[in-house]
Structure 1
Amino acid sequence: MTSPELTSAPATGPAPAESAASCPAPAAGCPAPVIDAGALIADPHAGYAALRQAGPVHRIVAPDGLPVWLVTRYADVRQALADPRLALDKRHATPGNYRGLSLPPALDANMLNMDPPDHTRIRRLVGQAFTPRRVEQLRAPIEAIAEELLDALAPLGRADLIEAYAAPLPITVICDLLGVPQDDRRDFRSWTDTLIAPDPARPQDAKAALGAVLEFFPRLIARKRAEPGDDLLSALIAVRDQEDRLSEDELTSLAFLILLAGYENTVHAIGNAVLALLERPDQLAALRAEPELVAGAVEEFLRHDGPAPTAIRRFPREDVEIGGVRVPAGETVLLALASANRDPGQFTDPDELDVRRRENAHLALGHGIHYCLGAPLARLETEIALGALLRRLPGLALDLPREQLRHRPTLRSRGLLELPVRF
């Protein structure tokens, strides 16, 4: 959640391998293609395609004015995702080279900032809750949530699917899993939305949301300590208190990360998938005609327009070579998942959505030891949400021109602010 975003400032630094001929003195640096940040937010795929074709690795300037290295091609991204030399721990960043979101220790001690052995220890503690077998046991409860939401929607004839369906479904599921009381859920969603895409013109909103989260989680943990339930957070508290395998900051940070990631990524996955189908009536018709295709189609939606254009930032522990380009130790590296998932060197007709696609080793959920912990749950929620939606809402169509749809103003995540539809 702390990856820097990209901006359109000209890049400097060592040239990509393909550019060496046009840059006889690489030490002087070569400018990378200038990509407009607004265009990447609206349609990142055209921008990533240009970068991917120009070279495997690019020097880009982030909005905070600091440079980052952007890796664009599938083979390089996949290899880098599993490279132990690329650390997540911010202590490996060169001083002054990284200026990510500043979080207090109570929220910062999470797996997005950890490498082995701490990452391994904490992942093992929580991983059992997200195995495919365990998650499959949640199918019936998730189906009930989807049906309840659609019961309210179906008579209306039109709705914003993000507000009325794609957002409340995952927040309900993850809050049920952790044991968050009903009365707290609306506030948590509001705080999360503010932290995911803060308004630069209103920094006080993000500060207030962060403060509210810092008050909320200790209060929730204290309540669970006093009255434990049959939920994941109560189980994690027991691990902390009885087995001493988590620090208090790790416990709080883990609860925050599970709620945040379990909500944000699934909202975007559902919304992006629905929009992709509305833009391609043939694919929509195929899923209506053969509902059994939906589970496999989820993989295609994740590849085609996944919720995270880039993986969480990395910091080389030592100088490394990626795609023939030397990246110095301590500098910030972004792995462009969205670009890798449209790489024609890996996928046939990569820009086409094909709900029957068979070979689909996409990287939307990562690769290696940092592979998305909640992947089975995100897949199941998206499958159930889409299947129920297509069955319950015939005649589904956009309720405003496509060009008027707005995405979150961030390059770290790919999601719609709203999705007005009629049915």
Structure 2
Amino acid sequence: MSETQASAPDQVPADRYPLPLAPLAEPPRRYSELRDKCPVTKVSLPSGDTAWMVTGFDEVITAMTDRRLSRAALRDPGAPRMIPGPDFSDNPFNLLNQEGPDHARLRRLIAPAFTPHKARIWRPRVERIADEIVDRLEAGPRPVDLHHEFAALLPIWVICEMVGAPIEDRPKLQEWTDRLISVTAYTSEQRLAAREEAAAYVAALVAERRKDPGEDLLSALITAQDEKDRLSDRELVWLGINLLVAGHDTTVSALSRGLFMLMRHPDQWRILCERQELTERAVEELLRYAPSSEIGFMRVATDALRIADVDVAKGEAVIPVMHAAGRDPRRTEDPDRLDLTREEIQHIAFGAGVHYCPGAGVARMELQVAFSCLARRLPSLRLAVPAEDVRWLGGLLTVRPEALPATW
């Protein structure tokens, strides 16, 4: 056992979570060292509490699937906290914070909205939106900010249409999202205000759809029924927030970070442009190599358990960093190499276990459409500045650039 793992509980851990990104938006360098020496290690949190950070692929799977590690237990009195003051883990109506029968019931009711068939139905519309955005890019000046003018626009446009929210509301939806997913970038007061504002907004959308239902997801959720069980108004509001926030933000980050990595590796971009049949595989490789976040969702142990050679006591926090697992050499040969032709690709970008992302199929479809459209329409796409000059925002759950200047 390493010194970090063997340290006394009252000793301050050497690592402070979240760890900073390495240059060029690469994962924190410390992940590689920890995976090799101690894939389960104690870290200190912004709140002053401590947690076990898990970075190895197999260990992350264990932490995400063991029912003794609970998101709901984060609300127990005295439970470790990620940050001082309220955050989204305090909200018992957020799907990610629920466990047991209520969680299973909600997932069962929303499942029909996210079937592979639904993704296929939406794909032509997403393709038209992507082409329309590229039409605008081609008609405008260069360089363009590929993050704000494409990567941040496409997913929120799509989710607004899917949910039934006006696309004109995009600026305030993005502002609420930034505050809701903040770790250290915003204050507790700003996060709580965003939660209340977003809830009021979605409640108004629900009221409109009850009067005038459409073909959107919110209308489908209002009428969702399973053995005469319907969603309550409060459940509808928070599912709507989940859809509008989680339904676009992680896709935005995966798209921006993936585009940056492709432009950093022009040989891989050429492969994608010349071999469009590799698009699905390319999306999986980019999710492994450059996922949307380097931050894991914390859980609390409801009973003692063991992960690898570390004993986790009841009441201790565990952070499975599912994105660190994608670079585990025990699962991926030469994991620090981006290779769109890689045949066996293993990642946990959408989670595992009961909290596996219900919208994974739709997110994959959007990413496939986005990368395919740009490869087809703008094959000479490249960074308009040195890669080192691209600045990345901190303090959020997801990874995104301040801007992504590109030309062709």
TM-score over 0.5 for the pair: yes
What is the alpha-carbon distance in structure 1 between the residues aligned to residue 68 and residue 217 of structure 2? 32
1:235 is aligned to 2:220 = yes
1:319 is aligned to 2:304 = yes
Counterpart for residue 74 of structure 1 = 57
1:62 is aligned to 2:45 = yes
Q: Deviation digits for residues 329-382 of structure 1, max 9, x if unmatched? A: 122211012221101111100010110111112111111221111111111100
What is the alpha-carbon distance in structure 1 between the residues aligned to residue 187 and residue 8 of structure 2? 41
Amino acid aligned to 2:176? W
Amino acid aligned to 2:397? R
Contact 1:35 1:47 (C-alpha < 8 Å) held by counterparts: no
What is the alpha-carbon distance in structure 1 between the residues aligned to residue 190 and residue 17 of structure 2? 29
- Determine helix, strand or coil for the equivalent of 2:100: coil
**Which of 88, 97, 100 is 2:80 aligned to?**
97
- Determine helix, strand or coil for the equivalent of 2:333: coil
Counterpart for residue 3 of structure 1 = none
Moved more, 412-421 or 140-149: 412-421
- Determine helix, strand or coil for the equivalent of 1:119: helix
- Determine helix, strand or coil for the equivalent of 1:267: helix
Counterpart for residue 355 of structure 1 = 340
What is the alpha-carbon distance in structure 2 between the residues aligned to residue 401 and residue 134 of structure 1? 40
Contact 2:63 2:318 (C-alpha < 8 Å) held by counterparts: no
Structure 1 residues 421 and 197: alpha-carbon distance in aligned structure 2, compared to 1, 3 A threshold = farther
Shift of the alpha carbon at 1:158?
Answer: 1.9
1:152 is aligned to 2:157 = no
Structure 1 residues 105 and 214: alpha-carbon distance in aligned structure 2, compared to 1, 3 A threshold = farther
Moved more, 137-146 or 73-82: 73-82
Structure 2: gaps of 5 or more residues: none
Counterpart for residue 113 of structure 2 = 129
Aligned residues: 405
1:273 is aligned to 2:263 = no
Structure 1 residues 106 and 337: alpha-carbon distance in aligned structure 2, compared to 1, 3 A threshold = closer
**Which of 147, 152, 163 is 1:167 aligned to?**
152
Amino acid aligned to 1:146? A
Shift of the alpha carbon at 1:81?
Answer: 1.3
- After superposition, where does 1:255-294 map in structure 2 within 5 Å? 255-294=240-279
What is the alpha-carbon distance in structure 1 between the residues aligned to residue 65 and residue 154 of structure 2? 32
Counterpart for residue 143 of structure 1 = 127
- After superposition, where does 1:20-419 map in structure 2 within 5 Å? 31-32=13-14, 37-39=19-21, 42-90=25-73, 93=76, 95-98=78-81, 102=86, 108-156=92-140, 157-197=142-182, 200=185, 205-239=190-224, 243-410=228-395, 412-419=397-404
Identity %: 36
Contact 1:89 1:115 (C-alpha < 8 Å) held by counterparts: yes
What is the alpha-carbon distance in structure 2 between the residues aligned to residue 225 and residue 158 of structure 1? 44
- Determine helix, strand or coil for the equivalent of 1:337: coil
Shift of the alpha carbon at 1:149?
Answer: 0.3
Structure 1 residues 27 and 171: alpha-carbon distance in aligned structure 2, compared to 1, 3 A threshold = closer
What is the alpha-carbon distance in structure 2 between the residues aligned to residue 410 and residue 201 of structure 1? 8
What is the alpha-carbon distance in structure 1 between the residues aligned to residue 256 and residue 112 of structure 2? 28
What is the alpha-carbon distance in structure 2 between the residues aligned to residue 102 and residue 414 of structure 1? 22
Contact 1:175 1:181 (C-alpha < 8 Å) held by counterparts: yes
What is the alpha-carbon distance in structure 1 between the residues aligned to residue 92 and residue 173 of structure 2? 18
Q: Deviation digits for residues 2-24 of structure 1, max 9, x if unmatched? A: xxxxxxxxxxxxxxx3338x95x
Contact 1:93 1:332 (C-alpha < 8 Å) held by counterparts: no
- Determine helix, strand or coil for the equivalent of 2:53: strand
Contact 1:272 1:415 (C-alpha < 8 Å) held by counterparts: yes
Q: Deviation digits for residues 139-184 of structure 1, max 9, x if unmatched? A: 1000000000000001333211111111111111111111112333
What is the alpha-carbon distance in structure 1 between the residues aligned to residue 183 and residue 75 of structure 2? 26
- Determine helix, strand or coil for the equivalent of 2:59: helix
What is the alpha-carbon distance in structure 2 between the residues aligned to residue 78 and residue 416 of structure 1? 29
Structure 1: gaps of 5 or more residues: 1-16
- Determine helix, strand or coil for the equivalent of 1:138: helix
- Determine helix, strand or coil for the equivalent of 2:363: helix
What is the alpha-carbon distance in structure 2 between the residues aligned to residue 202 and residue 92 of structure 1? 19
Shift of the alpha carbon at 1:118?
Answer: 1.1
Structure 1 residues 166 and 91: alpha-carbon distance in aligned structure 2, compared to 1, 3 A threshold = closer
The TM-score, its normalising length taken from structure 2, stands at 0.91
Moved more, 119-128 or 230-239: 230-239
Contact 2:384 2:407 (C-alpha < 8 Å) held by counterparts: yes
Contact 1:407 1:417 (C-alpha < 8 Å) held by counterparts: yes
Contact 2:180 2:191 (C-alpha < 8 Å) held by counterparts: yes
Shift of the alpha carbon at 1:209?
Answer: 3.0
Shift of the alpha carbon at 1:293?
Answer: 0.6
RMSD over aligned Cα atoms: 2.7
Shift of the alpha carbon at 1:323?
Answer: 1.2
What is the alpha-carbon distance in structure 1 between the residues aligned to residue 9 and residue 79 of structure 2? 21
What is the alpha-carbon distance in structure 2 between the residues aligned to residue 105 and residue 331 of structure 1? 16
